[in-house]
Structure 1
Amino acid sequence: MKETISQFSSMPWYLILGTVSLLLLWGGAQALEWMWFKPRRLDQILRNQGLRGTVYRSFAGDMKDENRLNKEACAKPMPFSHDISARILPLLYGIMKEYGKQSFTWFGQCPRVTITDPELVREVLSDKCGHIEKTKLGQAGRMTAEELANYKKEKWAKERRILNPAFHVENLKSMIPAFYTSCGELVDRWINFVGSNGSFELDVLPELQKLARGIVSEAAFGSSYQEGRRIFDLQAEQGELLVKILDIAHIPFHWYLPTKINKRLKEIGTEIRTLFEVKIAERERAIKNGEATQDNVLSLLLESNMREMVPNRESKSSVGLTTEEVIQKCQMFFAGSENMTVLLTWTLVLLSMHLDWQEKAREEVLSHFGREKPTFDGLNRLKIVNMIIYEVLRLYPPIVTVSRRIYKRTKLGNITYPPGVLLVMPIILIHHDTDIWGPDATEFKPTRFAEGISKATKDSQVAFFPFGWGPHNCIGQNLALLEAKIGLSMILQHFKFELSEKYLHAPYTTTVALRPEHSAPIKFCRI
């Protein structure tokens, strides 16, 4: 070491200066390539094929304008209207009005192309060409394009094979008692709120959040809400912190900056993983000891995974999920409680706005179940309730946009995209598109789903994506819909409800889901 330092110090000063200069020139050239030349090349490729969009001006792209427009759009409540696209995605809404539905903006140095044609959306989300990935690569990001394509196909097949048994219809039936327990506790609690005049007012958002979290804890993990509360609290804090760093999300390697927020996010990630590791270890011990554990998703998942972990005779290698992958699925289940929360919240809000549909749904529920608990088979026969839930998901989808990244030259429709382009599918804009759904696209009209999803649009094209599509669609959607049907049915059996005068219509999107900004106060009347 001393010899190396001595040799370096004995070098002529002009060699040292030359070396440093070359390093600075190389670094400057790389920075210029990243900040200017590559974006300009991508811009030209897209424009040469007829796409239009904003002009690339700086490495921040359109982030500053997007953040400003978001703040302006959500500065005050809006009238009671379901035409919320301009409020939720003001930048994309305005750009598409100006440049067309297939146009582009800049997410930092990456062009972000809007894909709104339902057929192309399905193609992107299904990734038929194998050249499209989620925006976070993780370990796969170090692979070549060909290796990544093969890796993804194998990984998707493996994950679906392991996860599917946990969400099979017969297994979901075994979780219904947990749904009854949580929903029954909510109804009993609300009955105790009833005043001398037979009514009460309640902010349903925190109530339904507690309900959804309790159901996820019990049905998915066989735990009480109190046991899972720490995880929910940590994930909520994680979401709030992620919102705060949106302004620098376009900066490469921003996760590695030694900021206070990044440090806290790493601490949260470590604690969440530790909590899940403990829960997974408990369930694995119970399975090995032969204890009855098939009444929750985690146990079913682990049993399926253990079967896959047995070495294949031909390959002599196990193909199950790693502990880290199981933890990722657990985090997904817990995060899914927010989607359940907002689905039920918006359903109650919309039925409070449209009392005629509330009464139709109540009549259907009472005709099937009376005052008894809803049965699994009976829930599948609820046509009106099903139409209402679909219409709520169309107007107020939990996830308003889905993004993918092109990592290899790819043709979609009549456009060929180079590597590095982001594709954004604005689900809420597609769901509100009058060209797809008709002139009443922003109206609450559950009858559009009377003949099913495929017949709901003008030209019978599938354009309904509240849970995604293809291999990356939400595998827990049946669980969410089952919870929504049971919860709504039991509420309708016991209460009539309408919006409180305190309600302010202000939908806004977080890093997790689309929710009412000023909560959801509703007036209930016992029946």
Structure 2
Amino acid sequence: MSALMKLVVLVPCAFFLIALINFLYDYLWRPPRIQNMLNSQGIKGPPYRFIHGNNKEVTSMRKEALSKSMGSTDEIFPRVQPHIYSWINRYGKNYLCWNGNRAELVISEPELVKEVMRNSEKAFPKAKPSFYVSKLFGNGLVFIEGEKWVKHRKLSNNAFHGESLKLWKSADLLESEKLAKEIQDCVMKIVKKREDKVVNGEADSFGNDFLGLLVKAYQDLNEKKKLSWEDLVDECKTFYFAGQETVNSLLAWTVLLLAIHGDWQERQEESPPNGLVRGVEREVQLGKVVLPANIDLLVPNIALHHDPHFWGDDVHLFKPERFAEGIAKATKCNAAAYFPFGLGPRSCVGMTFATTETKIALSMILQHYAITLSPAYVHSPMPIITLQPQHGIQVILESLHNNDA
């Protein structure tokens, strides 16, 4: 056999051997090592399963939970996150589970949650989004890190300061993967229209709303302040989906609760994301536990928002009076007991905007209509991006004024 032929055979074999070694390391050697390391420090959890980790158990528990009917006042935690509910009860507030071969440490102990979310050690960056999520949302403020995040956050703070807020028009729900190009084309048209107004003398500036500040930064000659075109598009994607999804969800669940508890309509609930994910960038100590690098941390805010230790045994009941003296009093000044908009420096920049928009929409509804629950409504909350009604929310609006349509 000639030297060339030997090379042709050996090179693929070498690549195959390297790939096999990497596979065995990732799926057979590293997971048990991480599990043993954390088990020895008191962190337990369901055992790692080859290839799928614990994904089969999670899928099975979710299917079983969704197959059961529930009343409108039943506790939602066991239904929307049955695996987290079950494993917290079995293994404790902090436990280790597996998303495939990727270790995921779930933490619901308040002091550890605060340490992770404040990230003073700079060791817990935001987890990288999947390819599809990054295409849909863009690599905007929610996902970026470091100096780029500082620049974008400063720009967004200016736009979402209480005095700067302007209401944005909602759009229809979007679908399919072709959204990436469609959204980019749409953003280009909107930006060009804003630029043309300035060029044609129809406007003196790009404006002080969020889009105006983005366009101004895109046109900035100072490289340190300038946004690239990709940055501009990504921020528009991020704030459209973040604002649309959360406010729609919040309004829907609030209307449902008011329909069920009609007495509160005359006295004038939040649906937060399913959990906040962080990565572990390097080996670091969290509380008394030493964490290995390259694992994920999941903060299931629903676990803390439904913790009887903070809220009492009636935690699942609708009792807005808990907050009569403010959030600090209700949570006994523990910031990790209730954080629907996140916690620490990466908390939601649009908090004031979202709450203002929701209050305005809700007040407009309650001025004109009494809300009652439709007999057709089936209570079935399920987690998607935020908590969503699986079958929609059907309510009956009864006019409070004879001349209302």
TM-score above 0.5, yes or no: yes
Please tell me whether the aligned partners of residues 158 and 320 of structure 1 are also in contact (alpha carbons under 8 angstroms).
Answer: no
Q: From 247, 257, 277, give the equivalent of 1:350.
A: 257
- Tell me the equivalent position of 2:153: 160
Change (3 A) 1:70 1:35: same
Q: From 487, 500, 507, give the equivalent of 2:361.
A: 487
Change (3 A) 1:278 1:448: same
- Tell me the equivalent position of 1:126: 118
Once the two structures are overlaid, the 10-residue window that deviates more, 283-292 or 26-35, is 283-292
Matching of residues 128-527 of structure 1 within 5 Å: 128-136=120-128, 152-172=145-165, 175=166, 216-217=168-169, 228-229=171-172, 232-233=173-174, 237-238=175-176, 265=177, 267-287=178-198, 289=201, 291=203, 294=207, 296-303=209-216, 305=217, 309-311=220-222, 317-335=223-241, 336-361=243-268, 392-393=269-270, 397-457=271-331, 459-462=332-335, 463-510=337-384, 512-527=385-400
Matching of residues 34-183 of structure 1 within 5 Å: 34-136=26-128, 152-172=145-165, 175=166
Deviation at 1:410, TM superposition (A): 1.7
Change (3 A) 1:274 1:14: same
Q: What stretches of structure 1 move > 4 A for 4+ residues in a row?
A: 12-20, 287-290
CA distance in structure 2 between the partners assigned to 1:412 and 1:138 by the alignment: 26
Give me the identity figure in percent. Answer: 33
Deviation at 1:460, TM superposition (A): 2.7
Deviation at 1:484, TM superposition (A): 1.0
Instruction: Tell me the alpha carbon deviations over residues 3-49 of structure 1, each in whole angstroms, 9 at most, x when there is no partner.
Output: xxxxxx83275665455444332221111011111112111111121
Number of aligned residue pairs: 384
Rg comparison, structure with higher value:
1
CA distance in structure 1 between the partners assigned to 2:230 and 2:24 by the alignment: 38
CA distance in structure 1 between the partners assigned to 2:21 and 2:389 by the alignment: 47
CA distance in structure 2 between the partners assigned to 1:37 and 1:329 by the alignment: 40
Q: 1:291 corresponds to which letter in structure 2?
A: A
Please tell me whether the aligned partners of residues 156 and 471 of structure 1 are also in contact (alpha carbons under 8 angstroms).
Answer: no
Instruction: For residue 298 of structure 2, give the secondary structure of its aligned residue in structure 1.
Output: strand
Q: 1:65 corresponds to which letter in structure 2?
A: E
CA distance in structure 2 between the partners assigned to 1:290 and 1:167 by the alignment: 25
Deviation at 1:69, TM superposition (A): 1.6
CA distance in structure 1 between the partners assigned to 2:28 and 2:372 by the alignment: 55
Please tell me whether the aligned partners of residues 156 and 210 of structure 2 are also in contact (alpha carbons under 8 angstroms).
Answer: no
- Tell me the equivalent position of 1:378: none
Q: 1:160 corresponds to which letter in structure 2?
A: R
Instruction: Tell me the alpha carbon deviations over residues 78-107 of structure 1, each in whole angstroms, 9 at most, x when there is no partner.
Output: 112251001111111111111111011101
- Tell me the equivalent position of 2:403: none
Instruction: For residue 504 of structure 1, give the secondary structure of its aligned residue in structure 2.
Output: coil
CA distance in structure 1 between the partners assigned to 2:276 and 2:50 by the alignment: 24
Instruction: For residue 424 of structure 1, give the secondary structure of its aligned residue in structure 2.
Output: strand
CA distance in structure 1 between the partners assigned to 2:364 and 2:37 by the alignment: 56
CA distance in structure 1 between the partners assigned to 2:195 and 2:118 by the alignment: 33
Instruction: Tell me the alpha carbon deviations over residues 211-262 of structure 1, each in whole angstroms, 9 at most, x when there is no partner.
Output: xxxxx33xxxxxxx6xx54xx42xxx24xxxxxxxxxxxxxxxxxxxxxxxx
Please tell me whether the aligned partners of residues 166 and 301 of structure 1 are also in contact (alpha carbons under 8 angstroms).
Answer: no
Instruction: Tell me the alpha carbon deviations over residues 468-490 of structure 1, each in whole angstroms, 9 at most, x when there is no partner.
Output: 12222221121111111111111
Please tell me whether the aligned partners of residues 432 and 441 of structure 1 are also in contact (alpha carbons under 8 angstroms).
Answer: yes
Instruction: For residue 113 of structure 1, give the secondary structure of its aligned residue in structure 2.
Output: strand
CA distance in structure 2 between the partners assigned to 1:406 and 1:171 by the alignment: 36
Please tell me whether the aligned partners of residues 104 and 114 of structure 1 are also in contact (alpha carbons under 8 angstroms).
Answer: yes
TM-score by structure 2 length?
0.88
CA distance in structure 2 between the partners assigned to 1:296 and 1:26 by the alignment: 53
CA distance in structure 2 between the partners assigned to 1:321 and 1:484 by the alignment: 30
Instruction: For residue 67 of structure 2, give the secondary structure of its aligned residue in structure 1.
Output: coil
- In the alignment, structure 2 segments of 5+ residues that lack a partner are 132-143, 401-405
Bigger fraction of residues in helix: 1
Please tell me whether the aligned partners of residues 405 and 422 of structure 1 are also in contact (alpha carbons under 8 angstroms).
Answer: yes
Q: 1:73 corresponds to which letter in structure 2?
A: A
Please tell me whether the aligned partners of residues 468 and 474 of structure 1 are also in contact (alpha carbons under 8 angstroms).
Answer: yes
Change (3 A) 1:34 1:492: same
CA distance in structure 2 between the partners assigned to 1:398 and 1:12 by the alignment: 61
Once the two structures are overlaid, the 10-residue window that deviates more, 318-327 or 92-101, is 318-327
Deviation at 1:295, TM superposition (A): 6.7
Instruction: For residue 50 of structure 1, give the secondary structure of its aligned residue in structure 2.
Output: coil
Deviation at 1:126, TM superposition (A): 2.4
Deviation at 1:287, TM superposition (A): 4.2
Please tell me whether the aligned partners of residues 287 and 299 of structure 1 are also in contact (alpha carbons under 8 angstroms).
Answer: no
CA distance in structure 2 between the partners assigned to 1:36 and 1:284 by the alignment: 56
Please tell me whether the aligned partners of residues 61 and 109 of structure 1 are also in contact (alpha carbons under 8 angstroms).
Answer: yes
Please tell me whether the aligned partners of residues 80 and 505 of structure 1 are also in contact (alpha carbons under 8 angstroms).
Answer: yes
CA distance in structure 1 between the partners assigned to 2:194 and 2:294 by the alignment: 42
Change (3 A) 1:19 1:340: closer
Deviation at 1:356, TM superposition (A): 1.9
Please tell me whether the aligned partners of residues 218 and 228 of structure 2 are also in contact (alpha carbons under 8 angstroms).
Answer: no
Which protein has greater RCO, CA pairs closer than 8 Å, 6+ apart?
A: 1
- In the alignment, structure 1 segments of 5+ residues that lack a partner are 1-8, 140-150, 179-215, 218-224, 239-264, 312-316, 362-391
TM-score by structure 1 length?
0.68
